[in-house]
Amino acid sequence: MDKIYILKNRIQEYAWGSYTAIPELLGQKKPSEKPQAELWMGAHPKASSELEYEGKQMLLSDLIQKEPEKILGKAVAEKFGGNLPYLFKVLAAAKPLSVQAHPDAAQAIQGFEKENRLNIPLDAPNRNYKDSSHKPECICALSPFRALKGFRPIHEILFLTEKICPQGLKKERLMLEAQATSEGLKQFFQSLMTMPEERKKQIIAESLANAGKFSAEDPAFREIPELHKEYPSDIGVLSPLFLNLICLAPGQAMFLPAGELHSYLDGVGLELMANSDNVLRGGLTPKHIDVPELLNVLTFEAREVSLISPRQISEYERVYPTPAPEFCLSAIYVTSDMSHAAFSVSGVEILLCTAGNAEMTQEDGHSVPLSKGVSVIVPAAAGKYNIKGNSTIYKASVPL
């Protein structure tokens, strides 16, 4: 397999998804009948992409098994056991996703093996670990994209909770004030997650009343009533008080390492991650929450949010650097006045066109047209290619 192929990708229909964002990207005129949350590009066993190969529609995962070195490249195949190490997604959130975190590599292996020994089915609602891989991820906004990311600095948590819930959270606030450390932050969060239901209701009611009074003073206060509309009895509605609230502008990106608590609130973005589906939830969800396992996975480090500063590597490409060995995201901008944008493939790439039209051409003359919503796989054996046109394209690759 040494040619560039157009991919046919699976859409995940989750309740928080948008009826319009993914259809618009794919050039469909009508909204979808069900909320479409994620478009998966890759070879994950849950929803592998397909392509037409030698006259047949085949799963990308099956083709990689047949020809791992041709598709992945020798270095990638050896390093990642003959598997595509990343999963590329379009994420379209019309409602908040669950507050969640992902395990590191050792935790994923241990958790997966433990749940296998307990004979918990992979599709069981109380299953935490769907595979044995960690899940660092990068999110890059295609539209204004609002999110919660990582614990706030402790002085901010103390100020916001005192303003919004002075009575209900007094015990937790005094405890955190006396021990303003990672351990104190862990105890604060654990108390929120394990308190009796009646106390949760009282705290949510007090917070909701005060959030209305002080809504003009801080965006976090305005967020609480919005979250309450979707999850009225969930303690996760207080998340903006202890997690950093951020809005990414289109083209801005951030990296989420293992153990960092986060939630995506709304917007459309590109998500690139290690090829895993492991999620530990902590609120804003009707799904299973395993508090002890979540506490085991979380990193209780208070910090301010830092965005990824893209690095220009040519006149037409800029890279979003992350520490993840499995993936690298870059944005390609080609214009009609460029002679061509030239690329040399060292490992497998997946490209998605998000605007405009272009054409990809290999050295042997094989070409593939690109338009908004079209994605392609470039196997390592494809060698060199160029892109001509007027287009914005995002590329997933493996850093080598």
| Residues forming the active site | 281
Beta-carbon contacts of 204 under 8 Å, excluding residues fewer than 6 positions away, are 228, 232, 233, 235, 237, 238
Q: Are 331 and 317 in contact (CB under 8 A)?
A: yes
Sole residue written with tokens 């394990």: 194
Q: Could you give the CA distance from residue 351 to residue 375 in angstroms, rounded to a whole number?
A: 5
Q: Which long-range contacts (CB under 8 A, 24 or more apart) does 166-174 make?
A: 166/206, 166/210, 167/206, 168/199, 168/202, 168/203, 168/206, 168/207, 169/203
Give the DSSP per-residue string, 109-133.
Answer: HHHHHHHHHTT--TT-TT---SSS-
Q: Could you give the CA distance from residue 32 to residue 36 in angstroms, rounded to a whole number?
A: 7
Question: Exposed (0-12), middle (13-18) or buried (19+): which is 262, by Cβ within 10 Å?
Answer: buried
Sole residue written with tokens 């614990």: 151
Q: Please give the structure tokens belonging to residue 253.
A: 């990106």
Give the pairing type, strands 5-6 and 10-12.
unpaired
Q: Which long-range contacts (CB under 8 A, 24 or more apart) does 76-80 make?
A: 76/347, 76/348, 76/380, 76/398, 76/400, 79/325, 80/326
Rg (CA), the chain: 22
Q: Please give the structure tokens belonging to residue 25.
A: 């990207």
Q: Which residues pair with 93 in a beta bridge?
A: 17, 267
